[in-house]
Every structure is written in C-alpha cells, then in structure tokens.
Chains A and B, each alone.
Chain A
Amino acid sequence: EAGVVQSPRYKIIEKKQPVAFWCNPISGHNTLYWYRQNLGQGPELLIRYENEEAVDDSQLPKDRFSAERLKGVDSTLKIQPAELGDSAVYLCASSLGGDAETQYFGPGTRLLVL
C-alpha cells in the first residue's frame, strides 16, 4: 500500500501567488489532518476532517487558507495569496477515526515563498 499520498512534493512560488496542495489518505481512513511544520518546530494542526466535515479548523488562518474534502476521501489545502511566512512543510495525515487513533503521515509538501 502506498500510504498517504501528497503532491506536489516541492513548490516554489512568489509572494501573493496562490498555491494548492493535494492529499489522498489511506483507503478507509475517515479522519484526515492537515499540519504545518515550520523549520525547527513540530507539526501544528491546521484542520481536521471527519469524513467530509471539518470538525476542527480553529488553527486555520481563514483569511488566506481554505481546505476542502468534498467526497470524504482526498483533500485540497489552498493558500491565496501566499506570504513569505507561509514557507513551511505542509503535512497530511490520516487515521481510521475515533479517539486518539494512530495517525499515518504523508511525505509532506515543502513550500518556499519568495
């Protein structure tokens, strides 16, 4: 099994440009997470989905970030417009669901905003 798939793996854009990241979770995993990891820091949760419902988006900067998981499977995270401070690794993870289930992480998308 491929595990959690993310694309692209790397992205370089100029500030004020839009960018989108895609994630395909492990088949059968109902819960999907998006994290942002800044250099030298641990992952920080941006949003969590239970199936197609965003159940926790309290840490998502809603003025420029948006996410969707329309059919409860794959998900897209968008930034528009990007700022220099958005340079980070964006991680997607999935789990079966339920309380404190093990999360399986994707390889991440490394974003550099110039």
Chain B
Amino acid sequence: AQRVTQPEKLLSVFKGAPVELKCNYSYSGSPELFWYVQYSRQRLQLLLRHISRESIKGFTADLNKGETSFHLKKPFAQEEDSAMYYCALSNTGNQFYFGTGTSLTVIP
C-alpha cells in the first residue's frame, strides 16, 4: 500500500536559517512526488514536483529512491515561507496520496 509520511507536524526556524521538511514514502513502483503548499487563507497549490527538477521560491527537493525520501530544502528561510506544506505521491494508476502536512513557522 502507498503511504506518505511527514514526521514533523510543526517546524520552527529563524529567518535566514536553513530549513528541511522531511517526507518519506512507501511504494514499490516508480512514484511521482510533489510538494504542495498552503499559505494562510489561500488555497492549496503546487510548489514543486520531482520530475521538473527545478527550484521554486528557493526550495528544492531531491528524490532519493534508496531512502524513499523526498525532503524539501531551502538554504535561507524567509518569513513569507511560513505555511502548511504537504508532500504527495502519485502512483502509476494516477492515484494521489498526501501526507499529514508540516506547519512551518519562520521566526523573524
């Protein structure tokens, strides 16, 4: 069965500090991995997807198949990064599974 685990419900970092939001998954096939973000009073939106291999708003995420992880990283956190972050997986049947989310707070 597919599963996405985000071990941290809450994460606080100081402005300018590096941030890493953890995501682990379980899936025997080749997954598509995504990070979605929800800013305060806004709707859920795509931040980035591993297949694009791009950096969005300074965030990057690398798919590590050996460790079944897709951690989200940013070298210097900004106050506007404070939001709820969800890791998601899509399987070969195009079914989507979301993690429980990590609430990131960047302290000024």
Contacts of A105 in B (CB 8 A): 43-45
Contacts of B64 in A (CB 8 A): none
Nearest opposing residue in chain A for B95, CB measure: A56
Please report the C-alpha to C-alpha distance between residue A8 and residue B84 in the assembled complex, in whole angstroms. Answer: 23
Contacts of B43 in A (CB 8 A): 3-4, 105-108
Can you list, as one digit per residue, whether each of A98-113 has a CB less than 8 Å from chain B (1) or not (0)?
Answer: 0110111111100000
Which segment of B14-22, B74-82, B96-104 sits at the interface?
B96-104
Contact for B98 among A44, A102, A107, CB less than 8 A:
A44
Contacts of B62 in A (CB 8 A): none
Interface of chain A, main secondary structure: loop
A93 to nearest B CB, angstroms? 8
Contact: A91 with B44, CB < 8 Å? Answer: yes
Total chain A interface residues with beta-carbon distance under 8 A? 22
Contacts of A33 in B (CB 8 A): 96
Which segment of A16-24, A35-43, A60-68 sits at the interface?
A35-43
B85 to nearest A CB, angstroms? 10
Can you list 13 residue pairs at the A/B interface with Cβ under 8 Å? A3-B43, A33-B96, A42-B86, A42-B98, A43-B44, A43-B86, A45-B97, A48-B95, A100-B34, A100-B51, A100-B94, A105-B43, A106-B43
Extra 16 A-B pairs, beta carbons < 8 Å, given A100-B34, A102-B46 = A4-B43, A41-B100, A42-B88, A42-B98, A45-B95, A48-B94, A48-B95, A91-B44, A99-B32, A99-B90, A100-B49, A100-B51, A103-B96, A105-B43, A107-B43, A108-B43
